[in-house]
Amino acid sequence: MKVVEKVHVKVARLQSRLTTASPVPRADQPQFAMTVAAVTDLGGGMRRVTFEAPELAVFETCGPDEYFGLLMPARGRPLALPDPGMLNVRAAVADLPEEDRPDLRWYTIRAHDPAAARIEVDIVTHGDCGPGSAWAGRARPGDRAGFRASGALYRGGDLAGRQVLVADETAVPSVAAILESLGGPGAAAARGVEVHVEVGDPAVLAAYDLGAAHVHVRRGIPGSAVVPALDRHLARGGESVAYAWACGESDLAAGARRTLVRHGVDRRRIYFCGYWKLGQARG
């Protein structure tokens, strides 16, 4: 890692700590090639891709919503991986010859089975309007893709008190993994964890057990259903929120954060992340 990259990372982390809850960084960023072992349609446009690689037998996640960079070769081209020594993986990909340059999108590890050296990744598909969706739509067993570790976002596992999780369909796999890490939806609810989910099609939730989640069906732009509902829910009062996590479409996540802050939640206890941005290609 170059010295200038290390400085930029430290500055970014310091600034983040002053304005938002911090994510869970990794001490390393392993990179390796994987093979598609299975593809399963879960309903509502959600597709589960199972990957295998010898390195996954020893890989250790650093949080329940561990995410990674999926490097997808261009159609008809072999997989080419970027320089693993460069911290900025986007810059490393850009350094590759254009004809060999893979697409890069970020996804949550839905499940990790070290014994089988496999991971499962759930991807929302929506035709060919984004490279991640297009690749997932045509993925078949035997296909190759790259893995670049990154870190995790949720760090409320050891906290006591009320927690609020807000998500759209792209973040539902993360929410499901978080709830499982807390002992399941029932145990999480008993600890004071609330889930607020916005989806365009409720069928996308068929493969997930989110317990007594507040589900809001979107009829307009992202955030138009869950953010006002969250506002009304928080206005009813109750225990103060000790930790919040809001992920999904960028404006939805930001809107949830603003709502939480307006209801008195310390912004340093809120982690929010835009998985994608309306009007821009997403994975």
The count of C-alpha atoms lying within 13 angstroms of the C-alpha of 74, restricted to the half-sphere facing its C-beta, is 9
Please compute the mean of the pLDDT values over residues 202-229 and round it to a whole number. 96
Residue 11 has pLDDT above 60, yes or no: no
Per-residue pLDDT tens for 87-138? 999 999 999 999 999 999 999 999 999 999 999 999 999 766 788 999 999 9
Residue 220 has pLDDT above 60, yes or no: yes
Higher per-residue pLDDT: 47 or 14: 47
Q: How far is CA 267 from its chain centroid?
A: 20
Tokens of 59: 């890989």
**How confident is the model at residue 27, as a pLDDT?**
87
Work out the pLDDT band at 244, boundaries 50, 70, 90. very high
Work out the pLDDT band at 224, boundaries 50, 70, 90. very high
**How distant, in Å, are the alpha carbons of 29, 112, 117, 158, 170 from that of 60?**
11, 9, 11, 19, 23
Question: Does pTM top 0.85 for this prediction?
Answer: yes
Distance CA 121, CA 119 (A): 7
Phi then psi for 280, rounded to 5 degrees?
Answer: -120, 150
Summary mean pLDDT of the chain = 91
**How confident is the model at residue 280, as a pLDDT?**
75
**How confident is the model at residue 282, as a pLDDT?**
52
Work out the pLDDT band at 281, boundaries 50, 70, 90. low
Q: Which residues contact 24 (CB under 8 A, 6 or more apart)?
A: 62, 63, 151, 152, 153, 154, 155
Distance CA 171, CA 176 (A): 9
For domain 162-276, the CATH architecture is 3-Layer(aba) Sandwich (3.40)
Residue 235 has pLDDT above 50, yes or no: yes
Residue 143 has pLDDT above 70, yes or no: yes
Q: What percent of the chain has pLDDT over 70?
A: 92
Work out the pLDDT band at 279, boundaries 50, 70, 90. confident
The count of C-alpha atoms lying within 13 angstroms of the C-alpha of 220, restricted to the half-sphere facing its C-beta, is 8
Work out the pLDDT band at 17, boundaries 50, 70, 90. very low
Q: Of the CATH numbers 1.10.468.10, 2.60.120.560, 2.40.30.10, 2.30.30.40, which one belongs to the domain with range 25-152?
A: 2.40.30.10
Distance CA 199, CA 216 (A): 6
Residue 9 has pLDDT above 50, yes or no: no
**How confident is the model at residue 178, as a pLDDT?**
98
Work out the pLDDT band at 25, boundaries 50, 70, 90. confident
Q: Is 109 helix (H, G, I), strand (E, B) or coil?
A: coil
The position carrying tokens 């870190």 is 151
**How confident is the model at residue 22, as a pLDDT?**
87
Q: Which residues contact 131 (CB under 8 A, 6 or more apart)?
A: 72, 103, 105, 281, 283
**What residue spans define the domains of the chain?**
25-152, 162-276
Per-residue pLDDT tens for 67-94? 999 999 988 899 999 999 999 999 999 9
